[in-house]
Amino acid sequence: MNRAAILGSTAVLLAMICAPVQAQFKSAIDTSQQTQRDTAKSQQRIDQLDDQTATLLNDYRANLKQLEAARRYNASLNRNIDAQNNEIVRLREDIENVEGLQRAMQPLMEDMVARFGDLVNADLPFMVGERAERAARLATILDNPSMSAAQRYRLIVEAYQIENEYGRTIGYYEGTVGEGDDALTGEFLRVGRIALMFKTPDDSELKIYDPSVGDFVDLNRGKYLQDVKFGLRMAKEQTAPDIFFVPVKPPVSAQ
């Protein structure tokens, strides 16, 4: 066999050998590429699952916070409900006791009205007409069927509060002392419930009420006129509050 024939045979043999190898290599490359594509898809799926897991975890944590807030809110509502139930029980007890309270209030109010009139009559005779009218009005409310017990009690307490204010304030008003031709017109100065004084506009007469006499008596003008005038200005809010002298009798020991 010559050289050319040998080379031809060798080429044919190599071609026969290489053909399966190339096919196997191509198959391996295809498999590798498919594996890479599958791996990329798997990684993409894993990334999606990670994102979904993170989202679900955040939602879970948010739901836990909402659940805790709802539990605390419900606990607060339950406490309010318990307090309201207790209040309902208390109100029902009060309603059941209203009739008994009204029966107990009536004699108390009658005593308060009667003592109010005694208080006005035994006190210094200042603003006599106004206070007597207030006492008369209180006497009429006890028999007024259109007024509830609460309304009557409120009016009685208000009257006592007004009288209480007289004891810790100073005041003035215009009026007369005496009767007939001896009547004098001027200004009264009330200092709490310890002194009630009277002064004429021309300062010619200065008097003070004496409970032991039951009438107004002369007051030393030279000693007390300026204090009375200053007290009147204070009562009229024409000057700032300050100290001024008022004649007061010393206390007497009880017998």
pLDDT tens-place string over residues 59-110: 888 888 888 888 888 888 899 898 888 888 887 776 666 666 667 778 888 8
Average pLDDT value over all residues in the chain: 84
Q: From residue 205, how far is each of 6, 57, 77, 166, 201 by CA, in Å?
A: 169, 97, 74, 25, 9
β-sheet bridge partners, residue 215? 210
Q: What is the pLDDT of residues 233-245, one digit of tens each?
A: 999 999 998 998 9
Is the model more confident about 51 or about 168?
168
User: Which tokens in the block code for residue 97?
Assistant: 């006791």
Three-class SS state of 176: strand
Q: From residue 196, how far is each of 179, 216, 231 by CA, in Å?
A: 18, 9, 11
pLDDT score at 9 = 59
Whole-angstrom Cα distance, residue 142 to residue 46?
90
Q: Is the pLDDT of residue 216 over 60?
A: yes
